[in-house]
Structure 1
Amino acid sequence: MISATAISHRYRADRWIFREVSVDLQPGQVLAVLGPNARGKTTMIKCLAGLLAPTGGEVRHTGTVGYVPQSHAAAVGYPVLEMVLMGRARHVGVFSTPSRTDRDLAADALARVGLDHLAQRPFTQLSGGERQMVLIARALVSGCQTLVLDEPASALDLRNQGRVLAVLDSLAREGMAIVMTTHHPDHALRVAGSTMLIVDPDDVRLGDTTDLLTGETLSELYGLPISTLDVTIGGRDERVVVPDFGVGAAVGVR
């Protein structure tokens, strides 16, 4: 669905964001992109989505790509259903209006992310997390074969984080290819079979999620002690990430 060959990017001549990265994303595959702030995660996925031309290398797509940004501020209070319906734009003729089928698909996408009860509420009146869910629905209704998301659960409470992860897992099982950035290694472990770690411009690691996301690797990536534990949750064997923030020691708490 996405094939990137030796892609590199820089915004100025003396500073590379990443160099010589190759990745092939197949149908049904979820790729999580992790790294500290300002390390190039958003730049990477914009290159993979075709929104930004890499400085070097090549990106090829099979099928259409839907992109969900990290945040979205709307100046006009369109109803939520209308915001989702905008995702059908490429299916509607220049002088045409959305059909009943288009509206039904938009309603179905909104229901899939659990916000059908907000269909008529102005988008500007939603919380940040609700806006993010609406943007995911808008991408889904476009009919894309690949979904690229920048921090899809960053503004969500725990319940809605679980809802987004469940939706992404379901889409992947149906054959959609998914790329997402995240600051939550647990999210990658939950839904992503493959992970990309952007350690520095010349050290971008790509591999199986459970192989890459070890306590040692995560400690190196984020610069603080991190442990992982293998536990059983709901009858499933899961790996959880436990960072040592050192908060008690820092403030003298016993």
Structure 2
Amino acid sequence: MAMMIEARSVGFRHSAKGAWLFENLSFSIAKGQIVVLLGQNGRGKTTLLKCMANLIAPTQGTIRYSGAIGYVPQQFVTPFSYSAHEVVLMGRARHVGLFSNPTEEDRARAAEALELVGGAALAERPISTLSGGERQLVLIARALASEADLLLLDEPASALDFRNQAVMLAMLRQLSASRGLTVVMTTHDPTHALEIADRAVLLHGSGRCEEGTVGEMCTEGRLSELYGMPMKRLDYVVGGNRASSIVANYGSMTARGEIGLFEQGLDESKAPVELTGRR
């Protein structure tokens, strides 16, 4: 099986004396596999993804990859009011000559990618008028239009509603199976890993990291340790199909006294304001 990414003893820290986000991380990702990066905020998920996209260099180790990469960041900001179709068409840049204009085939591929993510109706809308979730779908379409072999997605579901999350996950699973597309994505929802991923990377911070199959990594014990709170796996049947979800026991944080009404930033000299609806 062809390898798309091979990481060997990879590590990253922001300065020579700074703490490691992750270190000595090694893994291989084969063509058509889906890998999910999991961990709390600030543990290095986006940093590792950028290292894999060759946008920043790891502090230690090497990452080798084959094929064309499509990178989808969390946010996309442009000073120009491009239409959604024009943004997707930008993904065809590597197929268009330096002094050439997009061909009808390029435009057709862009339209096809938008339709694939359920965004055909957005084609003529200025990107500045789209919601965060709609922009995310457009960025995914742009990466697909590039005909990338390897798709790197930074929290692609963060601004999507439940239905569009389901559409996106089903689309990635279908593209992986039918086209051999390799996908690496960060997410805050371990259920996404159960739904579509083959492997998972757990980033604990302070240099500690783990990599393995979803079955090995997405256990209640490992996820509870990863997020610092009790996590439970629920197995159930929906429409005759077996499904699983990972849920967090949010109530346990209150019971353990770890919330404290944002104690760090609370100005105790100000009394609470009561809203009565009367002027």
TM-score bracket for this pair, using the shorter chain length: over 0.9
Contact 1:75 1:124 in 2 (8 A): no
**Alignment partner of 1:2 is 2:5:** yes
CA distance in 1, matches of 2:229, 2:51: 29
Identity %: 48
Q: CA deviation at 1:248?
A: 7.5
Paired residue for 1:237?
A: 242
Separation in 1, partners of 2:61, 2:247 = 37
2:102 paired with 1:92: no
CA shift digits 1:178-207 (9 cap, x unpaired) = 000000001111010100000124321111
Largest Rg, 1 or 2: 2
Q: Does the 8 Å contact 2:20/2:205 carry over to 1?
A: no
Question: More deviation in 129-138 or 210-219?
Answer: 210-219
Q: What's the CA shift for 1:123?
A: 0.5
Runs of 4+ that moved beyond 3 A: 247-251
The match for 1:82 is: 86
1:5-154 to 2 correspondence within 5 Å? 5-14=8-17, 15-154=19-158
CA distance in 1 between partners of 2:239 and 2:32 (Å): 24
Q: Following TM superposition, by how much is the alpha carbon of 1:210 offset from its aligned partner in structure 2, in angstroms?
A: 2.2
Task: Provide the rounded CA distance (Å) in 2 between the counterparts of 1:223 and 1:92.
Answer: 48
| Offset, 1:230 | 1.7
Give CA-to-partner distance per residue, 1:30-89, whole Å, 9 cap, x none: 000000000000001111121111111111111111000011122211011000000001
1:192 maps to: 197
2:233 pairs, out of 228, 235, 246, with 228
Provide the rounded CA distance (Å) in 2 between the counterparts of 1:44 and 1:178. Answer: 14
Picking from 180, 202, 213, the partner of 2:207 is: 202
8 Å CA contact 1:30–1:178 kept in 2: the answer is yes
Task: Report the TM-score, using the length of structure 2 for normalisation.
Answer: 0.87
- Larger mean CA deviation between 205-214 and 101-110 belongs to 205-214
- CA distance in 2 between counterparts of 1:229 and 1:8 reads 34
Which piece of structure 1 moves more, 172-181 or 240-249? 240-249
3-state SS of paired residue (1:156): coil
SS of match in other structure, 1:241: strand
Q: Which amino acid aligns with 1:107?
A: A
CA distance in 2, matches of 1:189, 1:156: 18
* Contact 1:5-1:23 at 8 Å conserved across structures: yes
On the 8 A contact 1:79/1:119 being kept in 2, the answer is: yes
User: Which residue type is aligned with residue 56 of structure 2?
Assistant: L
Shift in Å, 1:238: 2.1
Structure 1: distance between partners of 2:163 and 2:63:
35
Structure 1 equivalent of residue 262 of structure 2? none
Tell whether 2:180 aligns with 1:175.
yes
SS in 2 for 1:231: strand
**Which deviations, in whole Å up to 9, do the C-alpha atoms of 1:200-231 show, x marking residues without a partner?**
24321111112211111111111111111222
RMSD: 1.5
Q: Specify every segment of 5 or more residues in structure 2 that has no aligned partner in the other structure, as ranges.
A: 260-279
Give the Cα separation in 2 of the matches to 1:172 and 1:180: 13
Higher strand content, 1 or 2: 1
